[in-house]
């Protein structure tokens, strides 16, 4: 089969056969098709799209291109959760122990941060001694023993996706819904979970900035799950401001511990309850979302969620004492406030810019080879709709040195918009997407 013919076929807007998609994925995984031809087909897909069958076929081909985790030895349904990425998004460290404390098995393979978004693995590694490199046998054993584990992906998980993503990143084809959907779901299916809950972000700090595109992505991934025989449920949640108040690796671990110990609440907890309750339903531990939330709140109040996080940290070689004394986490030596340049209501935030601000401080990576500083970051002092006086802190910077402060202060002042008019409140959840329907928050559905 001539690969140029496949490129020309998709360029003309025609659907590819299963055999042609197999050649595409295999060629990417093995290097048997040159990068320039793979890139040409990626661009054709970006312009012409893929239908539901093509997208599902590509997903399954990428899933089968490498290792697949077998969780069949674990009783019941193992559940997983995935976020499309955001700022201050620490839901995994809140909901995984809470969901496990409620009796579900949570098998979570996570990634590292890149660009403006944080990575769960980097957050876990900010806990002294905590390892995310665990063998598949130990991963399964840990889930059987304590009900949950959060580790890194194996090197040979979905090699076709790794190759395609590397090319998408340098060819301007990242923002293509069929390619995004197949990339995410292939890794989730290869991870072995029996049911998956997706958190698709929308807004200024999200991969998809518009609600329309975010819902399209959520619906595409749910449809793949339906065709693959794997239950996938998605929520479209807001990322027009950092989800939590803490941004930075050890700082986000601290906020998760503060929530699990009952010392903090807010949007991070609310979204965690929305996602986690659906994981409990999918895992057979709750008959309804309402019952799932009640169980999670009971685990929160009793301290069972915090104890489960301690167990998970200890099982992965970390110091569980951080759950009782967060000062044992890495601490930045310099704390400097970001003063509001004027008085007014917080009317908007460039959440991506806030993420990049912490990256430049050392909390994230511009390149995969960059070494992060687990202690640095920032703590937001304001939320959308708050009124601030000139000079009042917008955020508290946690820095390695005072020399970093000037640039970070300037970036944060530019990222937080002030106005004389108080903005209307935004929903935490914009849409709920299941295999049979999409339900929007009031006032946010498509125009009729």
Give catalytic residues, as residue numbers.
82, 161, 168, 183, 187
Secondary structure element (H or E) that encloses residue 417, with its range: strand 416-419
Please report where in the chains the tokens 């069972």 appear, as a residue.
304
Give buried/exposed letters for 288-324 (b at 16+ CB in 10 A, else e): ebeebbbbbeebbeeebbbbbbbbbbbbbebbbebbe
Closest by CA position to 378, among listed 265, 255, 237: 255
Per the CB < 8 A criterion, the answer to whether 80 and 190 are in contact is no
Return the bridge partners of 237, or none.
Answer: 201, 429
Q: Which CA distances in Å does 100 have to 17, 93, 107, 236, 296?
A: 42, 11, 10, 23, 10
* Residue 36 structure tokens: 């320039």
* Residue 31 structure tokens: 């290097």
35 SS3 class:
helix
Alpha-carbon distance of 15 to 18, in angstroms, equals 10
């Amino acid at each position: 089969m001539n690969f140029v013919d496949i490129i020309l076929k998709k360029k003309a807007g025609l659907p590819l056969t299963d055999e042609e998609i197999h050649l595409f994925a295999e060629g990417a995984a093995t290097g048997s098709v040159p990068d320039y031809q793979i890139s040409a087909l990626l661009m054709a897909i970006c312009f012409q799209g893929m239908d539901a069958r093509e997208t599902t076929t590509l997903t399954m081909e990428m899933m089968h291109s490498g290792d697949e985790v077998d969780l069949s030895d674990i009783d019941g349904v193992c559940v997983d959760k995935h976020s499309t990425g955001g700022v201050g998004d620490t839901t995994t460290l809140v909901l995984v122990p809470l969901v496990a404390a409620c009796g579900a098995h949570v098998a979570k393979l996570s990634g590292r941060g890149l660009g403006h978004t944080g990575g769960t693995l980097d957050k876990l590694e900010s806990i002294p001694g905590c390892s995310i490199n665990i063998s598949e046998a130990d991963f399964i054993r840990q889930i059987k023993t304590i009900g949950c584990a959060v580790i890194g992906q194996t090197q040979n998980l979905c090699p076709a996706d790794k190759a395609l993503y590397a090319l998408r990143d340098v060819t301007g084809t990242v923002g293509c819904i069929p390619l995004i959907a197949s990339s995410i779901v292939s890794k989730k299916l290869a991870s072995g979970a029996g049911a998956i809950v997706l958190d698709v972000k929308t807004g200024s700090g999200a991969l998809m900035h518009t609600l329309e595109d975010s819902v399209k992505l959520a619906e595409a991934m749910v449809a793949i799950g339906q065709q693959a025989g794997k239950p996938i449920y998605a929520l479209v949640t807001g990322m027009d401001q950092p989800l939590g108040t803490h941004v930075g690796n050890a700082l986000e671990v601290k906020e998760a511990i503060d929530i699990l110990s009952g010392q903090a609440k807010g949007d991070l907890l609310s979204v965690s309850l929305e996602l986690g309750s659906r994981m409990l339903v999918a895992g057979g531990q709750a008959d309804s979302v309402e019952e799932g939330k009640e169980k999670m709140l009971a685990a929160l109040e009793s301290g069972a969620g915090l104890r489960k996080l301690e167990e998970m940290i200890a099982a992965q070689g970390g110091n569980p004492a951080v759950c009782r004394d967060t000062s044992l986490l890495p601490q930045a030596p310099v704390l400097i406030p970001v003063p509001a340049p004027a008085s007014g209501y917080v009317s908007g935030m460039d959440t991506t810019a806030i993420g990049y601000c912490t990256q430049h401080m050392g909390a994230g990576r511009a390149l995969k080879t960059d070494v992060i500083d687990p202690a640095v970051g920032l703590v937001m002092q304001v939320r959308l709709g708050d009124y601030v006086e000139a000079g009042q802190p917008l955020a508290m910077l946690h820095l390695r040195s005072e020399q970093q402060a000037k640039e970070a202060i300037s970036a944060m002042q530019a990222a937080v918009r002030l106005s004389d008019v108080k903005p209307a409140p935004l929903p935490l959840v914009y849409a709920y997407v299941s295999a049979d329907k999409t339900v929007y928050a009031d006032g946010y559905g498509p125009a009729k």
